[in-house]
Structure 1
């Protein structure tokens, strides 16, 4: 990959493509006025992110503060990428939508019962691709 800069901003289409190929992401929310991050496995569904969860503080907090951020990334020895979405999380309760999300290829990551489906309606997506390498020499201003 030829690039003049080690950081490239992704198009929205490329960001969704990469996000859709990731298996695990991180849900960022606020619980008891403290930021918290939860790793979750997920799928993309159109322009939304869907994950499963059990009863507990994560699900409860999403009903109190539905504004969330979600991030997924991947890398190898040469390059990496990161996609961050921001939106509103809501438990899927509509019977027709619930039937639909239950048919998505989304299984619990760990052997626990997760009966609640949550959809993040994304209203902002940003992605970046990185080219790894040695840190360049700092330019020193000698004109002063």
Structure 2
């Protein structure tokens, strides 16, 4: 990382890798992310409200194409980004998505308490079990 020695912060041109523990903290601090799934005609991206719990990402879904695509091709990418003190960041989780089948899993995850911003009823609960989690951060100009 190239840093300005007089400020102890990265320069405007530095892209910094975010450690995994901090990636989880950043994810936990947001509520809306983007789910990328393999669809029949290519890749599709859906905005989803989510929670982070027990080393996984959870979201709710109404019946529809998103759930069909996740079931057909469960390897997904999930991305969240934000800004903190003029520093932009992005975290990407790649892993397998699976619909939760047991009430005990749903309650333990906390996903049942999630308030969705979309007006549709969402009674399908999905867990993304990460295979990788990566983050990047850079200073805004």
TM-score (norm 2): 0.86
Who is 1:119 aligned against? 127
Q: Does 1:34 align with 2:29?
A: no
Alignment of 1:1-144 (within 5 A): 2-4=9-11, 6-75=14-83, 78-101=86-109, 105-133=113-141
Structure 2: unaligned runs, 5 residues or longer: 1-7
Runs in 1 of length 4+ with deviation above 3 angstroms?
A: 101-105
Whether the aligned pair in 1 keeps the contact of 2:111 and 2:125 (CA below 8 Å) is no
Q: Which deviates more, 96-105 or 51-60?
A: 96-105
- CA drift at 1:6: 2.1
- CA drift at 1:105: 3.9
Aligned residues: 133
Whether the aligned pair in 1 keeps the contact of 2:88 and 2:137 (CA below 8 Å) is yes
Whichever structure has more strand as a proportion of its residues is 2
Provide Cα deviations, 1:31-60, integer angstroms capped at 9, x if missing partner: 104100000010101210000000011111
- CA drift at 1:104: 5.2
Who is 2:3 aligned against? none
CA RMSD in angstroms, aligned pairs only: 1.8
Whether the aligned pair in 1 keeps the contact of 2:18 and 2:136 (CA below 8 Å) is yes
Who is 2:5 aligned against? none
Say which one has the larger Rg. Answer: 1
- CA drift at 1:77: 7.5
